[in-house]
Amino acid sequence: TQLLEQSPQFLSIQEGENLTVYCNSSSVFSSLQWYRQEPGEGPVLLVTVVTGGEVKKLKRLTFQFGDARKDSSLHITAAQTGDTGLYLCAVRRGKLIFGQGTELSVKP
Amino acid sequence: DAGVIQSPRHEVTEMGQEVTLRCKPISGHNSLFWYRQTMMRGLELLIYFNNNVPIDDSGMPEDRFSAKMPNASFSTLKIQPSEPRDSAVYFCASSFITGAPSYEQYFGPGTRLTVT
């Protein structure tokens, strides 16, 4: 059983559409991170959320940490082709543990 | 800043051969991590070092895998003998861990290993 369940696993949309991806768990975490991995590169940290209910915005990306600190969502407004990549959530349990990721493809 | 440097970027080898992957972490970072990424299993932590000392190697698959960090600016991951199921992308990452509840890991570009 995965500690972090990410959904959907794959998502293909047209440029300009909005989308939301999810990271869920039955465990409570003190913080949660979102990374983006572009093809042929390593993951890059986008944001860290630490407070239940916290909302952080990074340009067109909105991250929310669930009130109970068990889950998180990433919403992208007006997706662009440059948003294409693998979106990973991660939590620290001694070491950093990653979800399986959501593979996003934004087509022109 | 140069970021985390990994070499080689691609490695193709035959089953049974020894493979050595190399990593130079970001200067000033005190922790280094080796990950393996596959479609089936995602991103898995193999081992991590703090101040050049191995802290958690519970993710190392078996005795065929070994990792060293002889100094703060260099680490190796060795597979001997290699097997086709070792084919994956191997990432090295580094961080400066202070004891805060969260920290950023900086990943290298990865080494794509293919064992035939």
Summarize pLDDT for B50-87 with one digit per residue, the tens: 999 999 999 998 899 999 999 999 999 999 999 999 99
Residue B91's CB is within 10 A of a number of other CB atoms, namely 27
Give the pLDDT of residue A45: 94
The mean predicted confidence, pLDDT, of chain B is 94
Tokens coding B28: 């000033």
Distance from CA of B100 to the nearest CA of A (A): 11
Structural tokens at position B61: 């698959």
- Residue B85, number of CB atoms within 10 A of its CB: 10
Residues of A in contact with B48 (CB under 8 A): 95
If you search the block for the tokens 């060293």, which residue do you land on?
A: B68
CA A103, distance to chain mean position in Å, is: 10
Q: Using the predicted structure, report yes or no on whether residue A93 has a pLDDT greater than 90.
A: no
Predicted local distance difference test score (pLDDT) of residue A29: 92
Contact call for B101 and A31, based on CB within 8 A: yes
Q: Which of B40, B89, B105 to mutate to test the interface with A (most CBs of A within 10 A)?
A: B105
Strand partners for A34: A47, A89
Average pLDDT over residues A25-37: 94
Q: Find the angle CA(A79)-CA(A82)-CA(A88) to the nearest 5 degrees.
A: 80
pLDDT of A92 over the 90 cut: no
Q: Mean pLDDT across the stretch A12-16?
A: 98
Given a cut of 80, is residue A94 above it in pLDDT? no
- With beta carbons less than 8 A apart as the criterion, state whether A85 and B26 touch: no
Check pLDDT > 80 for residue B107: yes
**Residue-level pLDDT at A96:** 86
B chain contacts of residue A95, beta-carbon cutoff 8 Å: 33, 45, 48, 56
- Closest-CA residue of chain A to B5: A42
Mark yes or no for CB contact B101/A97 under 8 Å: no
Question: Residue B1 — pLDDT band, cuts 50, 70, 90?
Answer: low
